[in-house]
Amino acid sequence: MPSVNLLFPEAASTIAGRVDTLYFFLLGLTAFFSLLIAGLIVRYAIKYRRRSPNEIGAKLPTNYTLEIAWTVIPLAITMVIFVWGAQIFFAMSRPPDETLNIYVVGKQWMWKFQHLDGQREINELHVPVDRDVKLIATSEDVIHDFFVPAFRVKLDVIPGRYVAIWFRPTKPGRYRIFCAEYCGTRHSGMTGDVIVMDPTDYQTWLSGGATQQTLSEAGQQLFSDLACNTCHRSDLKGRGPVLEGVFGSAVTLQSGEKVVADEAYIRESILNPAAKITAGYQPIMPTFQGQVSEEQLLALVEYVKSLHPPNTGEKAAQ
C-alpha cells in the first residue's frame, strides 16, 4: 500500500518541496483575500443595514486612488506568483545532463516501462532513490497522462510524439501512478506504482533480469531482422545514411534545412521516411508504419543512440 495521508500528499521528489512552498504561499494569499472580502461584506451588511424602508445609500465620488491601488497591488502580487511558478516549471522542464533514462509506453489501459538494461515492467516502475530519472514517453493509441502525485510531476503522453519528464526521488517507498488524461472506458484502472529503492536493493532488482537482452541489443537484433542493415551500413557503401554518430548531430536535409537527430526524428524516419530526406540520398526507404510497435521503435531508437563513430572509440556509457 502506498503511504496514505488524508489531507496532504506525500512529498517524495526534489521538486515536490518547491511546488508545495508556492502552494502554501497561494493558500495564505487566498485565505487572506477571502477573509478580507468576507469580513468586509459581513461588517458592512451589519453596520449599514437598511434601517427604514425608504432609506437610500450615500452618494460617493469616484475614488481614483482606491481604484488604482486595487488594480496595481493585485498586478504586482500576480507577477510575483508568475515568476515564482515559471521558475519552478523551468526546472521541471529541463532535465539534468546525466539521467537514468527509462522509456514509457501508455496504452488503453496500462503503463509499460522499458529499462535500458532490458527489464520490462507493466504498471510498476522501479527506480533508485537520489538519482535523476528521465522518462521518455509515448502512447500507442490515445492521449494518456503520467501523473505521480508524490513527485508533483504530470505529463501528457501523446501518440506520435516523444515527451519527457524527469524527477529525483528522495525517499524509498511506493508511490501511486495515475493516468490523469481521460482515455476511455477503464481510465480509472490505468494506475500503477513507482517503487523507489535504495541503490543496493535497486541493483539486486536490476540483476534479477540479467539474462535478458539490453534494450539496445534488442534493437540491434530488430535492426537486422528488419534488414535495416542492408542499406544503413557503417562502411559508407550503403544506400542509406550511415547511422553511427547520427544521434544528437545536426543532419542536413535535401532542402538545405538542418535538424537535430533526436528520438522523435529517428522515430519519424522509420515510420515516415519521406518526411525528412538526408541530403545526398534518394527517398527509397519504405515505411515501417504498422510493422513495428511503439516498444520496438523504442528499441530501435535506443540502438541508433548507441551507435558511435568507430574512430572515436567511445562506447555507450550506459
Partner 1 sequence: MSAMPHAPAMPAHHYLNDNYGIKSWLLTRDHKRIALLYLAGVTFFFFVGGAMAVLIRLELATPAGDLVSDETYNKLFTMHGVMMVFFFLIPAIPSVLGNFLVPIMIGAKDLAFPKLNLASWYIYMIGGLFTLYSLVAGGVDTGWTFYTPFSTVSSNTNVVSTALGVFITGFSSILTGLNFIVTMHKMRAPGMTWFRMPLFLWSTYATSLINVLGTPVIAITVLLVAAERIFHFGFFDPRVGGDPVLFQHLFWFYSHPAVYIMILPAMGVVSELVAAGCRKAIFGYKFVAFASLAIAVLGFLVWGHHMFVAGESVYAAMIFSILSFLVAIPSAVKVFNWTATMYRGSVSWETPMLYAYGFIGLFTIGGLTGLFLAAIAVDVHVTDTYFIIAHFHYIMVGGTIMGYLGGLHYWWPKISGRLYNEALAKLSAGIIFIGFNLTFFPQFILGYLGMPRRYHAYPPDFQVLNVLSSAGASILGVGYLIPMIYLMWSLRYGRSAGANPWGAVGLEWTTTSPPPTENFDVVPQVTWEPYDYPALKEAEHRLV
**Are the C-beta atoms of 164 and 199 separated by less than 8 Å?**
no
DSSP single-letter state for residue 58: P
- Span 144-173, contacts to partner 1 by CB under 8 A: 145, 147, 149-150, 152-156, 158-161, 163
- Span 226-265, contacts to partner 1 by CB under 8 A: none
Residue closer to partner 1, measured from CB, 84 or 205: 84
- Span 283-302, contacts to partner 1 by CB under 8 A: 289
Residue 65 in contact with partner 1, rule: CB under 8 A: no
**Are the C-beta atoms of 266 and 247 separated by less than 8 Å?**
yes
Helix (H) or strand (E) holding 106: strand 100-107
Which residues sit opposite 195 in a β-bridge?
126, 174
Interface stretch with partner 1, choices 60-68, 120-128, 210-218, 227-235 (CB under 8 A): 60-68
CB 129: neighbour CB atoms within 10 A?
17
**Closest approach of partner 1 to the CB of residue 156, in Å:** 4
- Span 67-96, contacts to partner 1 by CB under 8 A: 67, 70-71, 74-75, 78-79, 81-82, 84-90, 92-93
* Backbone φ and ψ of 127, nearest 5°: -135, 155
Residue 100 in contact with partner 1, rule: CB under 8 A: no
Pick left, alpha or beta for residue 102 (phi over 0 → left; psi -120 to 50 → alpha; otherwise beta): beta
Residues binding partner 1: number (CB under 8 A):
90
Grid cell, residue 316, equals: 555507450
Which residues sit opposite 102 in a β-bridge?
115, 135
**Closest approach of partner 1 to the CB of residue 75, in Å:** 6
- Span 185-204, contacts to partner 1 by CB under 8 A: 185-189
